[in-house]
Amino acid sequence: MLMTPIDEYAPDGGELVRFSLTSDTPEGATHPAPPSYVQENHIRRLLTNQAAGVAQSAWVGVVFDVPGRLDTAAMAAALKVWTRRHPTLLTWFSVEENGTNGGTEGGTEGTGNGATRIQRHALAAETVAITPESLGPHDSPAAIRARLVDLFDSGTNPLSWPPLVTGAVLREDSSTVYYAVDHCHSDGLSSLLVFSELRALYEAEVTGVAAELPETGSYVDFCALERERSAAIGADSPEVRRWLEFLAGGPATSFPLPLGTEPGRTYPKISLSMDLLDAAETDAFAKACKALGGGQSAGFLAALGVSGYELAGHASYRGLSVVHTRDERRWMRAQGWFINLVPVEFAVGEPGGEPGGEQGGEQGEKQGGEPGSAARGFGDILSAAQLAFVEAQKMSGVSPLRVMELIPGVSVQPGAGAVLPMVSFIDLRHAPGSQDWTAAKCDGLAGPGTSTDVPIWINRLWDRTYVKVTYPDTAEARRNVPLFLEHLRAVLREIARTGEYRGEHRGEHRSDRG
């Protein structure tokens, strides 16, 4: 499974079908569970960008093929079972003035915005009906893509129900199932689970043999539990102190090389994917990291740190890493946004020998930083990265937005409409059904939008490890982002080949820097 921008998606033509979700009580009822922190931040970011006229694709999607012409009645029945299995899909939110509808019950004051609160609403599962609706033949990939973009953008919203759009492209030899949902209700793993679960439920409807799916919890329950746990976190909690220590060094480091962006301005988003290692190289890299006392996640962070040091002179790696919050068995197969961001910081260059500043991109250059060679051995860098990552994982239970609530004046985000730069690594081989993705043409979809920085996703598949980034559409970013990724790939391949890193290629790209 890759992460394909919707404007690059090119499915075969066929009859386009949409599965319409309706309810005989569409007004629903208020629900006492508050939004999770990431849900609240997502909603407020969406509202901020809408007010500013800034485009934001709020959905995540997945597509996959099934053999033959899809039985639409069977799929509609499967979808009904599936939505009832995941109660978050039966909910939506409204933004209200504080004090309305009975005060603060069921909502939360906004982080940094006490004038409004966010209220959850929910439907009873038995009120939901799902019916197939033909949208007619669409003979070209461009026609299907254009229709899907319209459906996804208009049909996924955290402030209305349903928050999802699903359907199929019907053909006689194979059919393509499509699914998109507002990000409020899904994360990367949740998107992966759509393939295995929905396919199993569809096959059960077709064959009459019940699907064997594990019991799962509700993300709605998780949201309430998260807020309950967060209420016990005070300004003097160790996790909050660690956040403050990290923030005292400045904001999370942005992309190491210049992006040519201007403060306060957003830019159209460009997506780029690049293979880093093949299967054998990935195995060799993982073994090298293990031999040096670290794991894969720390190994990739260490390699990012080396690249930032050699290309931009950053003697320390300072960034935000994605960690999951599925800390109980009941959450493992649940649909929801089970992630948090944690601060990771470790030394790359020799202490006292820092050749550059702590800030990213242009800021590092202004402080006199020059690119250098990693003076420490990779084993030392990896050990520091491993220790930092392990300590950071202990902070998975405290949202940076809770820190902002507790400490007036502290800001983790550069702005209410911005996405934080972050790094995510996931070994996708552990996802259910991952060995079937290639044959089923299973792929993730992402929408267009705007960008100011470079979030990084590193994903391990069965046959390779690849990196996916998005970045602002500027001349400098178009030059420097591929340059950095090529350098990262060279670092990783040297480690895979030799079990160490001595910078055999170092310096070969420096003349191209910004």
Residue-by-residue DSSP string for 379-438: HHHHHHHHHHHHHHHTTTTS-HHHHHHHSTT--SSS-TTPPPP-EEEEEGGGSTTGGGTT
Domain boundary, last residue among 222, 242, 272: 222
Query: Is 357 inside any structural domain?
Result: yes
| CATH code: domain of residue 394 | 3.30.559.30
pLDDT at 170 over 90: yes
* 198 & 285 share domain: no
* 397 & 471 share domain: yes
* 190 & 256 share domain: no
Domain boundary, last residue among 195, 222, 249: 222
Query: Is 436 inside any structural domain?
Result: no
Q: What is the pLDDT of residue 50?
A: 85
Query: Is 431 inside any structural domain?
Result: no
- Mean confidence (pLDDT) of the chain: 88
Query: Is 495 inside any structural domain?
Result: yes
Instruction: Please name every residue paired with 109 in a beta bridge, in sequence order, or none if there are none.
Output: 117
* 196 & 245 share domain: no
**b/e 296-330 (16+ beta carbons within 10 angstroms → b):** bbbbbbbbbbbbbbbbbbbbbbbbbbbbbbbeeee
pLDDT at 352 over 50: no
Query: Is 180 inside any structural domain?
Result: yes
Peptide bond into 162 cis (omega under 30): yes
Domain boundary, last residue among 198, 222, 246: 222
* 262 & 113 share domain: no
**pLDDT (tens digit per residue) in 53-90:** 877 778 999 999 999 999 999 999 999 999 999 999 99
Q: What is the pLDDT of residue 100?
A: 42
Domain count across the chain? 2
Query: Is 114 inside any structural domain?
Result: yes
Query: Is 447 inside any structural domain?
Result: no
The answer to whether the predicted template modeling score (pTM) of the entire model surpasses 0.85 is yes
* 164 & 276 share domain: no
> Do 58 and 41 contact (CB within 8 A), yes or no?
no
**Strands (DSSP E) found in 24-127:** 29-31, 59-67, 91-97, 109-110, 113-122
Contact partners, residue 358, CB within 8 Å, separation at least 6? 249, 250, 253, 314, 316, 318, 364, 367
CA dihedral sign, ordered 266, 269, 270, 275: positive
* 187 & 157 share domain: yes
* 61 & 198 share domain: yes
Q: What is the pLDDT of residue 414?
A: 64
In whole angstroms, how large is the CA radius of gyration of the chain?
A: 23
Query: Is 313 inside any structural domain?
Result: yes
* 481 & 343 share domain: yes
* 251 & 374 share domain: yes
* 284 & 184 share domain: no
Domain containing residue 289: 233-327+337-414+452-503
Tokens read off for 194: 């759509």
Query: Lowest-confidence range among 40-49, 223-232, 502-511?
Result: 502-511
Q: What does the pLDDT average to over 388-413?
A: 89
* 243 & 380 share domain: yes
Q: Distance between CA 197 and CA 512 in Å, rounded?
A: 47
